Amino acid sequence: MGRRASLTIAVCLATMALLDGLTQAQSRQALSPGRAMYLGVDYYPEHWPRERWETDAKLMKEAGFNIVRLAEFAWIEMESREGQYEFGWLDDALKVLAQYNIDVILGTPTAVMPAWVAQKYPQALRTKADGTQVVWGGRKHNCYSNADYRRLSERITRAMAEHFAKTPNVIGWQIDNEFGGEECHCPSCLAEFQAWLRDKYGTLDTLNKAWGNRFWGLKFTDWPQITIPDDSTDRSWVMGNPSACLDWKRFITWQQARFQADQVKIIRAVCPEDFVTHNLMGLFTGLDYYAMAKDLDFVAWDNYPIWSDKPDIPYSASLAADLMRGLKQKNFMIMEQTAGPCGWEAFGRNPWPGEIRKIAYQQLAHGSDGQIWFRWRTCTVGREQYWHGLLGHDGKPLRRYQEAAQTAKEFRRLEEHLRGTTVVSEVAILYDYDNLWSLSFQPGFAGNSLQGAVRRYYDALFRAGVNADIVNRKADPSKYKLVLAPDLSILPDETAAKLDAYVKNGGVLLADCRTGVKDERNLCHDRTLPGLLSSVLGIRIEEYSSLGQDSWYKVNGGDRLAGTYTAIQYTDWVTPESAASLAGYADQWHLKPFAATTRNIYGRGKGWYVGAVIKEAAFYDDLIAQLLKDAGIRPIVTPPPGVEVSIREKPDKRLLFLINHNEEPRSVRVPKDRVELLTGQKTKESFELDRFGVAVIEL
Ligand code: GLA
Ligand code: ZN
């Protein structure tokens, strides 16, 4: 039932929101306040005959679904000629859905321009780096600075918002679809880049210094001389200046965030009660997601973890979820959830029985407050014919539908327990796009990437059964007991000062290879490494070395890290000053004076440093165990391999999620005499999880 159906309902919902401790203005900011959790599908009524719509809605209702996302590619269906709007078909579809109490998130359709736009405004088509334009015929064709495209996009957004403002079952909006960091090299984008730089730096002199343009004589003497840097790494002879490349990436985010904001403004003005979100892409690296998320009421994202025969569901989809939750430090929803085999040309493996449910639980466990499966029915036409939905081409409600329906019904049963809960972590991993991009232009040592470095620690935390928040480098670390700062190569002075204060006041910090090399301009600091973190970490690094693919060094751990490990890829030549060495190089005479891992007591806290990439996961398991000990963190459950642990909580409730990613049953030691909410049974000392099984235990 829709929010605007009648005054009575509006008042009633407002009361519920207030009961939830939310004002009405805040209620839009939260997911499902006083409403049912959103569960449903991405639906394309325009792909199917009208006679089928009612069957679809009925099957959705029977599955326990209450939401669909619609229309994000349907611009041509709504404006087949410039300025002539036709919403009748969508009104009809919305009515059918309303009869079955299904609410709707509308997508603004600007991810695919109609053919008439490309024909009449050819400059709206994006220009590639080689100077040629994108050929119309797929999607995401557009340039983000083209005035006509911006105007037409705002107009269709306004027309939709005005038309659907009074439709009771429209409750929220998705702006565009998967902003993808597309880079346009047209004259208008170049001019905007120049203007953006002018705004940022004020004078050419400042810009030249910030980019280090004395090098190779790349100094600009006039703003129009500025070119788009070549950030590709495959043609070394034209590789652009890394400082320019970093600003270009930031500019691309600014441009796409502006495009998003143009539409957000309209929807907020015309439909002030509706929520606004966007479907982000988890670990995607082309845009600064912290900036993109700012304008949204909450983050939504698209989750497709099954591709290969051995899909990396456990770590990568949970990391993505934690990253998405960290963007606004609040719960999120899944706008597209895996429903079947995926692929545009060849498709990957089918989710096996139990996997659709398990993947959905994983997101729930990490803070998802709504899930929409992509897509309802597998399309018989177009590029996504093999991207499978819950229903096959034949439209029958078979295994995948049944499993999603079962999952939705279970989620409903858990709903009251879940309301208002989120993941509360004692551990944070710092993340930021400046570092990510800077390392993508210049990894320093081969194979280095921010996400790769994050995974070394994240995976070990996962294995230890400990939740982590992935948070912006700029966030306040003080609420965490343990902060991991992998690959913190760009270390601005204020970040260093914040981390210094954090450790001084009792925090435990871990930093690693290449910490403190650069500043925010992507210029190298002129300080001995690890720069402003030297006192915190109690070490000095004057030299370092890459290791070729065929080289590795033996590392011997002492008491706290007992064992023999292997350094690969890179070594810092770490000289401990006030720090204690916890591991050293055993068989390399030239590295004998140096440490591979150190621990320093600084103020009331501890600063740890790992100066090598270590091959063995066991090393990171031991390291994390030590760090948790230092930080006074005790996992509630120590899971067997392949079993995921996550906790959602609020002040008077704690829910322990256990997810078995193994194809065989597993038994897990759990706190006893608690209720497992799916079975209603009291726990004994150990809990048996089926293959791909799930448990939700109220602690
Ligand atoms: C993305 C998009 C969808 C669809 C799916 C499947 O996540 O947002 O429109 O294309 O992938 O390809
Ligand atoms: Zn352009």
Residues 622 and 690 in one domain: no
Q: What is the DSSP string of 373-398?
A: EE-SB--SSSTTTTS--SB-TT----
The active-site residue, picked from 178, 182, 192, 676, is 178
Instruction: Among the bound ligands, name the one nearest to the CA of residue 304.
Output: 1
Q: How far is the CA of 43 from the centre of ligand 1 (A)?
A: 12
Assign 3-state DSSP to the chain and report helix, strand, coil percentages, each to 5: 35, 20, 40
Residues 557 and 503 in one domain: yes
Q: What's the gap between Cα 284 and its chain centre?
A: 7
CATH code of 676's domain:
2.60.40.1180
Query: Apex CA 381: angle with CA 112 and CA 401, to 5°?
Result: 100
Q: How far apart are CA 696 and CA 361, in angstroms?
A: 10
Find the radius of gyration of the CA atoms of the chain. Answer: 26
Q: How far apart are CA 229 and CA 381, in angstroms?
A: 39
Q: How far is the CA of 183 from the centre of ligand 2 (A)?
A: 8
Residues 475 and 505 in one domain: yes
- The structure tokens listed for 44 are 């394309």
The number of domains in the chain is: 3
Q: How far apart are CA 247 and CA 518, in angstroms?
A: 15
User: Does 134 map to a domain?
Assistant: no
Residues 581 and 445 in one domain: yes
Instruction: Among the bound ligands, name the one nearest to the CA of residue 146.
Output: 2
List beta partners, residue 565: 555
Residues 459 and 537 in one domain: yes
Q: How far apart are CA 95 and CA 88, in angstroms?
A: 11
* CA distances to 354, 464, 468, 658 from 361, in Å: 11, 19, 17, 9
State which residues form the domain around 686.
643-698
Q: Round to the nearest angstrom and report the end-to-end CA distance of the chain.
A: 34
Question: Does residue 42 line the site of ligand 1, with CB under 6 A?
Answer: no
Of the candidates 541, 544, 522, the one whose C-alpha atom is nearest the C-alpha of residue 533 is 541
In this structure, which amino acid lies at residue 10? Answer: A
Residues 541 and 489 in one domain: yes
Q: What is the pLDDT of residue 6?
A: 40
Residues 535 and 625 in one domain: yes
Q: How far is the CA of 505 from the centre of ligand 2 (A)?
A: 49
Q: Which of 631, 654, 670 is the last residue of a domain?
A: 631
CATH code of 627's domain:
3.40.50.880
- The structure tokens listed for 688 are 């048996």
Of the candidates 482, 513, 490, the one whose C-alpha atom is nearest the C-alpha of residue 612 is 513
Are residues 495 and 520 in contact, defined by beta-carbon separation less than 8 angstroms? no
> Residue 419: exposed, middle, or buried by beta-carbon count in 10 A (0-12, 13-18, 19+)?
middle
Q: What number does the ligand 1 atom closest to the CA of 279 have? A: 8
User: Does 80 map to a domain?
Assistant: no
Instruction: Among the bound ligands, name the one nearest to the CA of residue 188.
Output: 2
At 598, phi and psi to the nearest 5?
Answer: -135, 160
User: Does 400 map to a domain?
Assistant: no
Q: Which of 224, 247, 270 is the last residue of a domain?
A: 247
Q: How far apart are CA 363 and CA 332, in angstroms?
A: 9
Q: CB within 5 A of ion ligand 2: which residues?
A: 143, 145, 184, 186, 189
Q: How far apart are CA 514 and CA 226, in angstroms?
A: 30
User: Does 147 map to a domain?
Assistant: no
Question: Does residue 302 line the site of ligand 1, with CB under 6 A?
Answer: yes
Are residues 689 and 665 in contact, defined by beta-carbon separation less than 8 angstroms? yes
Those residues of the chain that have pLDDT short of 50 are 1-27, 236-237
Tokens 């029985």 identify what position? 353
Q: What is the pLDDT of residue 498?
A: 98
Question: Does residue 387 line the site of ligand 1, with CB under 6 A?
Answer: yes
* CA distances to 444, 516, 597, 631 from 496, in Å: 21, 8, 20, 20
Residues 432 and 470 in one domain: yes
Tokens 């996302």 identify what position? 69
Mutational pocket test of ligand 1: of 75, 279, 302, 376, the residue with most ligand atoms within 8 Å of the beta carbon: 302
User: Does 368 map to a domain?
Assistant: no
Q: How far is the CA of 68 from the centre of ligand 1 (A)?
A: 15
Tell whether omega for the bond before 530 is within 30 degrees of 0, i.e. cis: yes
User: Does 315 map to a domain?
Assistant: no
Residues 548 and 653 in one domain: no
Q: What is the pLDDT of residue 69?
A: 98
Query: Apex CA 71: angle with CA 278 and CA 368, to 5°?
Result: 35
In this structure, which amino acid lies at residue 208? Answer: N
Instruction: Among the bound ligands, name the one nearest to the CA of residue 378.
Output: 1
Q: Which of 631, 666, 685 is the last residue of a domain?
A: 631
The active-site residue, picked from 182, 183, 192, 336, is 336
Are residues 193 and 248 in contact, defined by beta-carbon separation less than 8 angstroms? yes
- Residue ranges of the alpha helices (H) in 299-354? 318-328
User: Does 455 map to a domain?
Assistant: yes
Residues 480 and 605 in one domain: yes
Q: What number does the ligand 1 atom closest to the CA of 73 have? A: 9
- At residue 503, the 3 state secondary structure works out as helix
Query: Is 577 a catalytic site residue?
Result: no
Residues 619 and 648 in one domain: no
Query: Apex CA 388: angle with CA 387 and CA 393, to 5°?
Result: 115
User: Does 146 map to a domain?
Assistant: no
Residues 446 and 481 in one domain: yes
Q: What number does the ligand 1 atom closest to the CA of 178 have? A: 8
Q: How far is the CA of 342 from the centre of ligand 1 (A)?
A: 10
Q: What is the dihedral of CA 135, 139, 140, 142, to 10 degrees?
A: 50
Tell whether omega for the bond before 375 is within 30 degrees of 0, i.e. cis: yes
| pTM score of the predicted model | 0.95
Q: How far apart are CA 253 and CA 290, in angstroms?
A: 10
